[in-house]
Structure 1
Amino acid sequence: MIRIHFIVNPIAGHGRSSLTETLLELYFVRGVHQLTVKHSEYKWHASQLTRESISEKANIIVACGGDGTINEVASCLIGSTIPLGIIPIGSGNGLASNLRIPKQLRKALEIIKNQWTVKIDVGKINDRHFFSNMGIGFDASVIKHYESSQKRTLSGYVRACLISLRDMGQNQKLSVSINDLNHFVDPFIILISNSNEMGYNLSLTPKASLQDGLLDVLIVSKIGRMKMLWLGVLIILRKVYWLKEAKSFQTKQLQLSRNDKNYFESQIDGELQEIDKGNLNISIQEKSLSVLVAE
């Protein structure tokens, strides 16, 4: 018997998720698959439900939601033999898009039934993890305004960008070191990517790979408003490197430090989070998560 546990974020995708055991049983084989559906009720609840599923000897654990839900579930599976399945029902679905997991329920469930797995890299920030990307500066400000918006759509994301542009100048005072060779102070954007997708098919690091053992880092130094608008165009075109203030690196580790004793306001896999004061040590854990994908 293959025990498959589904961890569902009921408010993902504007709350349109209607995944139930009755519905899912239509796609699986009775007597071969044993299905369990659990719904998260608050932030980090998905992690608690995942840990319970691990103790209940689940063979496969499926994150049903967006990148934030995937982060909560997958963080519990790092180094485990239990593979992660994904049903992308969030707003951006950046990691699922990178892994070519379709939004159509039937096709996503076929991937889970076939059980074809790959190993992917995982980003680590002190004792936390990310799977797509993490960002500080303008990127985090956008997510902050996006989360407070009632529109979890591309138009809502664009509006969050415009509000963040209005608030420019309030960015955190940061110092960045990469391999002790490159040093930057107070950049406009710091984005560290494991995946080449941010959601909505947007990307600041189009060459990033989930399996190359490297983090792709984009740092954009301070720029004026006109350059910011030009940057927006280049993001859509996936040509950020045309901006001379944009510097790209690949590395296995880097350090961020603040010039004060406040928390880092950042986005981690599309979710706003306040993370540790002082220094952030960011690194890559190579091929440490098993994920179900199409053959």
Structure 2
Amino acid sequence: MKTNLHFIVNPIAGKGRNELSTDMLEAFFPNSEYAVSIKKTEFVLHAKALAKASIEEGAQIIVACGGDGTINEVASCLVNTSVVLGILPMGSGNGLASNLRIPKNLKKALNIIKNQKVMTIDTGTVNNEPFFSNTGVGFDAHVISDFEENTTRQLFSYVQSTWRTLKKYNYKNVVELKYNGTTELISPFLLFVSNSNEMGYKMSLTPQASLQDGLLDVVIVPKLSRFKLVLFTMLFLFKKHHWLKEVRFQQLTALEIKSLDNTILKVQCDGGSVTQQYSKLLKYFLKA
């Protein structure tokens, strides 16, 4: 029986020149052994709709071809199913693919799928919506929002977004954190919840995080002075942000973040801005 293999391609991810030719795929997945289908996304959340359709069509392997956002859309449909997720990293940062050691070289990545090197990873949720790499409230969410307005999605664009956000970022809201039986109030510069040890572009706030340890790695950074804001950003770019004494780390299975001043929390999830999906109360959980 042929293996039913579907590729869901985001043609505008990364540099926006993503194509998969039928001839190339047939070289790896011959018609005698595989039934291959290629689908292209046309709008936000289209990858999720295409993945659901592929499941109904009996796909055994669904390959997300894009960045972390595309992977999130596809993978969210595969949680608790027998369908295997494949990844072809075609995005800008490719944080999850990098953590999983999936190369950007297309032929090498296709070989991994062909050899079916399968592993099981933890899944995080925020307000019951899955995430696989990371999610955050505060500075990183504002950086992602700025980054999404760029016409180019490269490392330099990300650095530009970081500095632009740093210059205009203003936070006054107070949130209540609940975790491990503890409640605390904080005016956060950053609340970062990660399942992965990489955000993309080889940058990381949680270098010790693991996709298979059954824990979420949480970075808590309170309101900082202007000088320390700049210092934190510089240290982060060099992976030394832990040097700043205000930066705290927790490993948790559950976290609740509640806005106490009627502010809708700005959130990023797997590298995409998702402010409109959330409210004044965020509940994070991990499923190992």
TM range (shorter): over 0.9
Q: For 2:286, give the aligned amino acid.
A: I
- 1:201 maps to 202
Q: In structure 1, how many angstroms separate the alpha carbons of the residues matched to 2:178 and 2:135?
A: 16
Q: Which amino acid aligns with 2:8?
A: I
For the structure 1 residues 172 and 114, does the alpha-carbon distance in structure 2 shift closer, same or farther, using more than 3 Å as the test? Answer: farther
- Contact kept, 8 Å, 2:193 with 2:219, in 1: the verdict is yes
Q: Which amino acid aligns with 2:234?
A: V
Q: Name 2:287's counterpart in structure 1.
A: 285
1:257 corresponds in structure 2 to 258
Partner of 2:160: 159
Does the Cα contact within 8 Å between 1:171 and 1:188 map onto a contact in 2? no
- Per-residue CA deviation, residues 109-136 of structure 1 (Å, 9 max, x unaligned), is 0010011211100100112111000011
Map 1:238-253; keep pairs closer than 5 Å: 238-253=239-254
How far apart, in 1, do the equivalents of 2:258 and 2:183 lie?
A: 14
What is aligned with 2:138?
137
Name 2:278's counterpart in structure 1: 276
Give me the CA root mean square deviation. Answer: 1.3
Instruction: Give the Å deviation of 1:171.
Output: 5.5
How much does 1:162 deviate?
A: 1.0
Q: Give the C-alpha shift of residue 232 in structure 1.
A: 2.0
C-alpha distance after superposition, 1:164-212 (max 9, x if no partner): 1111224644222222325241110000000000000000000000000
Residue number in structure 1 paired with 2:94: 93
SS of residue paired to 1:202: coil
Q: Which amino acid aligns with 1:20?
A: S
Which sits farther off after the overlay, 273-282 or 169-178?
A: 169-178
In the TM superposition, what is the alpha-carbon distance from 1:233 to its structure 2 partner?
2.5
TM-score of the pair, normalised by structure 2: 0.96
* Amino-acid identity (%): 47
Q: CA deviation at 1:261?
A: 4.0
- Contact 1:138–1:171 under 8 Å retained in 2: no
Structure 2 Cα separation of the partners of residues 186 and 124 of structure 1: 23
Q: For 1:271 and 1:171, how far apart are their aligned partners in 2? A: 23
Alpha-carbon shift at residue 240 of structure 1 (Å): 1.8
Distance 1:110 1:184 in 2: 49
1:187 paired with 2:162, answer no
1:262 and 1:137 map into 2 onto residues whose CA distance is 12
Structure 1: tracts of 5 or more residues without a match: 287-295
| CA distance in structure 2 between the partners assigned to 1:185 and 1:14 by the alignment | 38
Report if the CA contact (8 A) 1:137-1:171 is conserved. no
Counterpart CA distance in 2 for 1:159 and 1:170 is: 20
Aligned to 1:125: 126
Report the Cα distance in structure 1 between the residues aligned to 2:172 and 2:151, rounded to whole angstroms: 24
- Flag the structure with more relative contact order, 1 or 2, with Cα contacts below 8 A and sequence separation at least 6: 1
5+ residue gaps, structure 2: none
Secondary structure of 2:77's partner? coil
Measure, in 1, the Cα distance between the counterparts of 2:59 and 2:182.
Answer: 45
Q: Is the 8 A contact 1:219 1:248 kept in 2?
A: yes
Report the secondary structure of 2:188's partner residue: coil
Indicate the residue corresponding to 1:290 in structure 2: none
The 8 Å contact of residues 196 and 204 in structure 1, kept in 2 or not, is answered as yes
The separation in 1 between residues aligned to 2:263 and 2:230, in whole angstroms, is 30
> What is residue 293 of structure 1 aligned with on the other side?
none
Cross-structure match for 1:237: 238
Q: Secondary structure at the match of 1:223?
A: coil
Q: CA deviation at 1:262?
A: 4.5
Work out whether residues 21 and 36 of structure 1, in 8 Å CA contact, stay in contact via their aligned partners in 2. no
Q: Which residue of 1 aligns with 2:30?
A: 29
